[in-house]
Structure 1
Amino acid sequence: MSVNRNILIMFYFINISAMAHVTNSFFESDVVENSGFNGQERCQQTEDRYLDIKDYIKMSKREFFTLLANARNGDASSANSLGMYYDVVPGCYNKAVYWLRIAAKKGYGIAQFNLGSLLLRNQTKDSYTESIHWLELAEKNGVDSAKYSKKRALNWLNTNN
């Protein structure tokens, strides 16, 4: 039952992430403002703690530590889920990128899409360039939504050079 719940939550975050990038509304500026881009990372830098996220997600302490253990043991799906959980916690942008990057490097297409989409929020040339890399890989791995985000990133780079 717990695995099915994690899968449903993962798809929920994918849809939220895709919706946020399509709308390009005040939501993105709010996410940027609260995500720690200016060195204001509120999450613990050295360890993953349940206290950092418990107020933002509906997950027991036991479920969190099981997910964390699986992610640390190399499970790409768990690392992706952990990254998406940290994405919704204000000030935990770096942790979200960390866990998504681990899953994306393992070739997990959904994580490649999520990482590419997350990097689009930073709105710098470097982050958009890296975003395009991950979105291209996600598209090759069958994530159709990646082509729209990639097109958006390419348009931004073309107009901001």
Structure 2
Amino acid sequence: MSTVTVTEFIEAPAVDVWACLVDLPGRAGWLRTVGGVELLTAERFGPGTAWREIRTRPDGGEQAEEFVVRDVDAPHRLVLSSPGIGVDYRITWTLRNVRRRGRDCTAVTVEHEAVPAASYGRVMALLFGGLAARAVEGAIRRDLADLAVAVTRADDAAAA
């Protein structure tokens, strides 16, 4: 199993960060690598909610990723799962209101766990584990930067 954890600080309350994070139809509008979102379930956001995102890979190609909500403790914790090829993923988002440099903000921690689901998944993890971890960390940091911009825009629009 491989785990990558990244924490970033967003200058907005956790409830505002949460609202943006769980707005599934809006994801394609603020995540620069997401070209579209297809809801796979119709129920209210919570355990069992599923969707598919079309993401742009670093090589310019597209890749569909499916996510299922496993656990929710709004606005503090969101646990997702995503099946991969030979590896299954568990992504945990944790939001904490904190004070940083004299300002109220939200510490957003994303923990991305890769669990080999087949024997070749274990072999691939051994061969490419470090490279994959760096790529995942970069993707998480990019998504968190996009989230910070989206939340800031939403806060600015609400204040206007």
Q: TM-score, normalised on structure 2?
A: 0.29
Structure having greater relative contact order (Cα 8 Å, sep ≥ 6)? 2
Q: TM-score, normalised on structure 1?
A: 0.29
The structure having more radius of gyration, on CA atoms, is 2
Indicate the structure with greater strand content.
2
